[in-house]
Amino acid sequence: MYQIPRGTRDFLPEQAERFRRLEEAAVRLASQYGYGEMRTPIFEYSELFERGVGEGTDIVEKEMYTFQDRGERSLTLRPEGTAGVVRAFVEHKLYNGPLPAKYFYFGPMFRYEKPQAGRYRQLWQFGIELLGAEGPRADVEVIALGWQYYQKLGVEATLVLNSIGCRQCREEYKKALVAYLRGGKICKLCSGRLERNPLRVLDCKEESCQQALEGAPRISQYLCPACQEHFEGVKAGLEGFGIPFELDERLVRGLDYYNRTTFEYKTKQLGSQDALGGGGRYDGLVELVGGPSIPAVGLALGIDRIELMDPPALKAGEGRQGVWLVTMEPAAQRAISLVHPLRQQGIKLQYDLLGRSFKAQFKQADRSNCRWTLIIGPDDLEQGQAVLKDMETGEQQPLALENLVQLVSNLEGVK
């Protein structure tokens, strides 16, 4: 028997519908804020991610689905959404258009990881990118949109916020941090990190590292005046919106392109996979990808994890809807023909395709959650009528076949 590839999932109709509702909520929210959809390919040239996401990141080092095509080009299934959107933004020279540019995306991402609860090799993300706005108001808009998404779905999330400074102040901080940690007791992994990406030591969970970090220099002490002012602006903006947040100086995030603001939405409901979404500012990325120097900020929200939390917004089921035709030989073909125009009127209509008994047809109607059954047997045809049954109350009444389409169209819950 064939099995689904590791870390991927099938969405059977019920679950697919849950996912669709999450997507619809995302699309509606994004357009409310004025973001337009950007659809980019599911794979890109590997170099885009290697350079854009960053050589030293976990994603690039060990999680990419990379393969060669027949032209021996190296391609990679996208591990995240920002690089592709920025590539498209630059390639189509959209920076010549009105700024800021506001885009959202919704779709699958791919990371080669060992699967566990809330972690998949094919995962879905909803993301937004806001390009061309430098001030803290832009950061606040992005963070607020994510916050509103969780609120709308009834998901309880905690917002964690940090600023990792700009290139200049971060360099200074890195130097100070490396100087402090050198010679201290840190884990093997972090000894390597110390050279290549010292900030990553900050969110290491090894006890030795956390101990070594006590009394270490803090990024907040190294922020240059401009970065400090920006960060204050972000905090003030969030307060103005009544969005609560916690500060965490160890929030670094795994992608190289971030600067200044970083943030994450967390939950306690998911066990060890507690990150629901996150993002930050990435002022240097557009230039890195070959465009002009344009500031930007964005976020990505994990849809699988939200669905896993079974948010209240997904619980409200729809009531009974539509019509089921119940008929029997020798009237069946005639009855089906009579009823077909209902479908052309946009009415939800089903009927038995297996030649099942009368009783079984009602059972199917019930199970399909139909609101009405329309009974048209041989006797009814003779009398020129159909019998309409309300599946909620069980009440029945005759309908004249002549006006069938009109009569049924006026029923409630049929479209």
Partner RNA sequence: GUGGGUGUAGCUCAGUUGGUUAGAGCACCAGAUUGUGGCUCUGGGGGCCGGGGGUUCGAAUCCCCUCACUCACCCCA
Decide if residue 378 touches RNA (CB under 7 A): yes
Decide if residue 358 touches RNA (CB under 7 A): yes
CA 191, 193, 199: angle at the middle one, nearest 5?
A: 120
- Check if the beta carbon of residue 145 is closer than 8 Å to that of residue 30: yes
If DSSP codes are grouped into helix, strand and coil, which group holds residue 14? helix
Q: At closest approach, how far in Å is the CB of 58 from RNA?
A: 4
Q: At closest approach, how far in Å is the CB of 215 from RNA?
A: 20
Q: At closest approach, how far in Å is the CB of 99 from RNA?
A: 25
Binding mask 80-109 for RNA (x = CB under 7 A): x-----------------------------
Determine the distance from the C-alpha atom of residue 72 to the mean position of all C-alpha atoms in its chain, rounded to a whole number.
32
- The dihedrals phi and psi of 183, each to the nearest 5 degrees, come to 90, -15
- Check if the beta carbon of residue 219 is closer than 8 Å to that of residue 262: no
- Check if the beta carbon of residue 270 is closer than 8 Å to that of residue 75: no
Residue 404: C-alpha distances to residues 19, 391, 395, 415 (Å): 37, 18, 18, 15
Nearer of residues 79 and 136 to RNA, judged by Cβ: 79
Stretch that binds RNA, among 10-18, 42-50, 266-274, 284-292 (CB under 7 A): 266-274
- Residue from 387, 405, 407, 411 in contact with RNA (CB under 7 A): 387
Q: Distance between CA 412 and CA 409 in Å, rounded?
A: 8
Nearer of residues 94 and 282 to RNA, judged by Cβ: 282
- Residue from 389, 399, 401, 408 in contact with RNA (CB under 7 A): 389
Q: Distance between CA 369 and CA 250 in Å, rounded?
A: 51
Q: Please list every residue from 40 through 79 that binds RNA, using CB under 7 A.
A: 58
Q: Distance between CA 229 and CA 237 in Å, rounded?
A: 12
Number of Cβ atoms within 10 Å of the Cβ of 362: 18
- Residue from 51, 119, 152, 348 in contact with RNA (CB under 7 A): 119
Decide if residue 211 touches RNA (CB under 7 A): no
- Residue from 137, 379, 400, 403 in contact with RNA (CB under 7 A): 379
Decide if residue 12 touches RNA (CB under 7 A): no
Nearer of residues 183 and 394 to RNA, judged by Cβ: 394
- Residue from 302, 322, 335, 349 in contact with RNA (CB under 7 A): 302
Nearer of residues 136 and 377 to RNA, judged by Cβ: 377
Decide if residue 212 touches RNA (CB under 7 A): no
CA 39, 50, 162: angle at the middle one, nearest 5?
A: 80
Q: Distance between CA 104 and CA 85 in Å, rounded?
A: 9
- Residue from 66, 158, 273, 368 in contact with RNA (CB under 7 A): 273
Residue 173: C-alpha distances to residues 122, 178, 243 (Å): 36, 9, 29
Nearer of residues 279 and 295 to RNA, judged by Cβ: 279
Residue 335 structure tokens: 């009855």
Decide if residue 246 touches RNA (CB under 7 A): no
* Cβ-proximal residues to 144 (8 Å cutoff; 6+ apart), any chain: 238, 241, 243
Decide if residue 375 touches RNA (CB under 7 A): yes
Residue 322 structure tokens: 């539509």
- Residues found near RNA in the complex (CB under 7 A): 3-4, 6-7, 58, 80, 111, 113-120, 123, 125, 189, 200, 203-206, 252-255, 264, 271-278, 300-302, 304-305, 328, 356-360, 362-367, 373, 375, 377-380, 387, 389, 391-394, 396
